[in-house]
Structure 1
Amino acid sequence: DPLERTPISPGVSAGVVMAEAGLLCASPSAASKAQEDLESLENTKLNIAVTGETGSGKSSFINALRGLGAEDQGAAQTGVIETTTEPRAYPHPSDPSVILWDLPGIGAMDFRPERYLQKVNFRRYDFFVIVASERFRSSHADLARQIQRMEKKFYFVRCKVDEDLANARRAHPQAYVEENVLQRIRENARKCLRDQGTINPQVFLLSNWDLDKYDFPLLEETLEKDLPHLQRLVFLLSLPNFSPEIIEKKKSALRGHLWKISLASAFINVLPMGGVSLACDVGLLLVSMIAFYKRFGLDDDSLAKLARQAGKPVAELKSVIVSPKGEDLTRDVLMKKIVQVGCSLTRSVERCFDFVPVISTLGGAGLSFATSYSILSNFLEKVAEDALRVRKKALENTVEPNVPILQGQSRFLGLFLIWAPITPHPPS
């Protein structure tokens, strides 16, 4: 299958990229298949159910994943009094395809897991997060067993561990060792679940205020392994930019799809460029580049929110951005860039194709593919580096940063904007 190829590595020569295009073109349906793959990603949905006892932090967990504070518009309502009587959907702020569901609280004396799951329409969810802030009880274990019977995935999350650590530090300042306290909490949670009949329970320790700490990286890795391919990608791209590692993972995931965008750009809905033997879908490239910008939290809305929460002027954050500004990405600018890059590549490799009759017919398409790939690859590198610089600047000289917002600088990314629609032609 020509579409099951290893992604092109950064820094490869134009000739190699064009040769790759030639191999892909050997299958007449390759470009159409690439477009179908992008459309499949566009149509992928992810529904995450979050349940637990009243006051356990499930609503705060939902807000943290969406990059919202309790008082922000659209935030899940928090509090110790149960506010949810029916499943309540909270779409990701920038993409309605990713939805976190706040389910009614469990733990009532007459709690019956089977009836509960039927009431909340368990079939709609891709997986369940079962949240507790103190001890896991029989209701948690009973619910997990019923979810398992219904062949759905579930994950135990122990929230508010930052409060437990603070209490332990105050109680035993001399003997306090954070990892020892975390291990005790983890083992106690597992014991509670084992005592209730759960076999080999896996518990993730989290803080809704410090989402990057404790077991969240492990939860992320576990979900990446458990989810189907497209949902795995959706989940990864929805994660906050809370660490350089996450930014690198996002960049790597996006790089793996650049050749599909480039192939679709070179062969579907193409626009000929004057003076050079290439044609590209300018609209698709433009939408993809704007989406990269948003994915890494570099659009004006994301920067303004981050600056406000970090207590810094937005101009200070923008000062470290070196990639082209979002408002500067227009059709005219991009068309000039395409011609510039295409001419440069032509001088390097196009003459080589004239000596090979079979390949020469693919020269124009190969040049178009290489041009699209080069532009997207370079832009992706720049915006990822900008995201690292913006994150560092936001945290600079901040004694007590508002961690959820600083972590969430990328939570307002358009998760699927890069793929939808596949053949847009936005105005300049």
Structure 2
Amino acid sequence: MGQLLSDTSNNEDNGDLVSSATKYFMEIKAETKIISQETIHLIEFHLKKGNIQGANSVINDALKNIDNAPINVAVTGESGAGKSSFINALRGVEPEDQDAAEEGVTETTMMRTPYKHPKIKTLTLWDLPGIGTMNFPPKDYLEKVKFQEYDFFIIVSATRFTKLELDLAKAIIFMKKNYYFVRTKVDNDLQNEKKSKPRTFDGEKTLQQIRSYCVNTFTQNNMDEPQIFLISNRHLSDYDFPILMDTLIKDLPNQKRHNFMLSLPNITEAAIDRKHKIMQQYIWLEAFKDGLLATVPVVGMIRDDVEKLKEKLNHYRVLFGVDDESLQVMAKDSQVPVEQLRKITKSPYLLETKKEETLGELFLKYLEKFASASGGPLALGLYFRKTFYLQFIFLDTVTEDAKVLLRVTYSKN
């Protein structure tokens, strides 16, 4: 690795470094940035002064905040509204899995129940008792369920929202928290409507009627019309679930967006692309911190680098749902042989090299292609350690694997 810049404001490379960082951050949409604008300004400030260690320290602290920031999501609603299946869907867990939220049972608990995300350890979804099951006013209810611990509330209903739930929303606003109304089981409503009116059935019209029915509840209770998300817990790519996820990501603090985005299921290619972009930010920040203006030597890699690369590749495969365990689940759900799914993925074989080919040579083989791609670090005039270039290649490959698997399994459903 080449020498980092010395702490001097006279270094002639500082201008290029600042402009490169500024250009990169400017190209990222504000609602998807994983570090705040204040943090970006602070990084640029240190770089302008030639204080590389200061810039590194700011980035390092930002990455730690991203890794460690807890995300707590509260889900409430009446019994039978689909709270548990909604929580399982967000966690990518099947109803029969050991740690799944129990579905289809009458709510009797007066306690909140936490469910950790299986891949993102900082994310917890809380199943709250329905406000109707607790004989408390909304404000007291929020205090009982420890409202201050949650990033936002999701209020779930399978019919129309009750006055208790509307009053709860008012109390949440008073407590200065965000809330979202989710109307579940719209697929059931559409099926029932189609059965009862097979000749005149109009799916879009039915969905609009469901939405209007919900909105009237707010109008009748003298409340402003909120955004209402119509979803099916069984068919996440349909209806408003993708819009709900986009809204939650946009409303979360910067440092919590990264892990929340990575926790979401691969329901569409657009969702996979968003994961790719947000993960690219994280890798870029790591590379910028550890390899500012480092040259790219052509010598081989040390054993520690190889082991770390293997860990990174496996980590990305897990996050994008293309690891062996995920393939087994996918094969079962889609009834596609797991061997067939393995054959169409490329990421498991990225670090397999021929006997005469070193990992360093493999890197050089990919570098030319990577350098010509728009938006890569080389396009910014920056040079990172070769391990980071390979991480970008890993990310591109697992992203493409996830898309290919989505196409194959979706066509079987």
User: What TM-score bracket applies, with the shorter chain setting the length?
Assistant: 0.7 to 0.9
2:332 maps to which of 308, 322, 343: 308
Match of 1:166 in 2: 191
Cα deviation for residue 224 of structure 1 reads 2.2
Match of 1:392 in 2: 407
Match of 1:259 in 2: 284
Q: Any idea what SS the aligned residue of 2:122 has? A: strand
Q: Distance in 2 between matches of 1:239 and 1:343?
A: 33
Q: Distance in 1 between matches of 2:170 and 2:395?
A: 44
Match of 1:418 in 2: none
1:371 maps to which of 372, 380, 386: 386
- The answer to whether the 8 A contact 1:266-1:281 is kept is no
Q: Distance in 1 between matches of 2:83 and 2:246?
A: 21
Alpha-carbon distance change, 94 to 247 in structure 1, aligned in 2, over 3 angstroms: same
The amino acid of 2:174's aligned partner reads R
Alpha-carbon distance change, 157 to 256 in structure 1, aligned in 2, over 3 angstroms: same
Q: Which deviates the most, 107-116 or 295-304?
A: 107-116
Aligned residues: CA RMSD:
3.5
Match of 2:62 in 1: 37
Matched, 1:6 2:24: yes
Q: Any idea what SS the aligned residue of 1:93 has? A: coil
Alpha-carbon distance change, 129 to 178 in structure 1, aligned in 2, over 3 angstroms: same
Cα deviation for residue 60 of structure 1 reads 1.0
Q: Distance in 1 between matches of 2:25 and 2:314?
A: 22
1:328-339 to 2 correspondence within 5 Å?
336-338=358-360
Q: Runs of 5+ in structure 2 lacking a partner? A: 1-16, 28-46, 372-381
Match of 1:360 in 2: none
Q: Which deviates the most, 283-292 or 230-239?
A: 283-292
2:313 maps to which of 289, 292, 295: 289
Q: Any idea what SS the aligned residue of 1:59 has? A: helix
1:402-417 to 2 correspondence within 5 Å?
none
Match of 1:341 in 2: 363
Cα deviation for residue 27 of structure 1 reads 3.6
Alpha-carbon distance change, 31 to 248 in structure 1, aligned in 2, over 3 angstroms: same
Alpha-carbon distance change, 53 to 92 in structure 1, aligned in 2, over 3 angstroms: same
- Render the CA deviation track for 1:55-87: whole Å, top value 9, x for unaligned: 111111101111222221101112241143201
1:115 maps to which of 124, 137, 140: 140
Matched, 1:200 2:225: yes
Q: Distance in 1 between matches of 2:336 and 2:365?
A: 43
Structure with greater contact order relative to length (CA < 8 Å, sep ≥ 6)? 1
Q: Any idea what SS the aligned residue of 2:291 has? A: helix
- Render the CA deviation track for 1:384-413: whole Å, top value 9, x for unaligned: 1111112222234x2xx3xxxxxxxxxxxx
Cα deviation for residue 342 of structure 1 reads 6.2
TM-score by length of 1: 0.75
Residues paired across the two proteins, number: 362
1:21-420 to 2 correspondence within 5 Å?
26-29=50-53, 30-108=55-133, 110-266=135-291, 275=299, 285-325=309-349, 336-338=358-360, 341=363, 369=384, 371-396=386-411, 398=412, 401=413
- The answer to whether the 8 A contact 1:54-1:105 is kept is yes
TM-score by length of 2: 0.78
- The answer to whether the 8 A contact 1:51-1:106 is kept is yes
Cα deviation for residue 286 of structure 1 reads 4.1
Q: Runs of 5+ in structure 1 lacking a partner? A: 10-22, 350-365, 402-428
Alpha-carbon distance change, 277 to 205 in structure 1, aligned in 2, over 3 angstroms: closer
Q: Distance in 2 between matches of 1:302 and 1:28?
A: 41
Cα deviation for residue 25 of structure 1 reads 11
Q: Distance in 2 between matches of 1:130 and 1:231?
A: 21
Q: Distance in 1 between matches of 2:407 and 2:134?
A: 49
Q: Distance in 1 between matches of 2:299 and 2:283?
A: 25
Q: Distance in 2 between matches of 1:184 and 1:85?
A: 34
Alpha-carbon distance change, 94 to 275 in structure 1, aligned in 2, over 3 angstroms: closer
- The answer to whether the 8 A contact 2:69-2:122 is kept is yes
Alpha-carbon distance change, 95 to 259 in structure 1, aligned in 2, over 3 angstroms: closer
Q: Distance in 1 between matches of 2:406 and 2:244?
A: 23
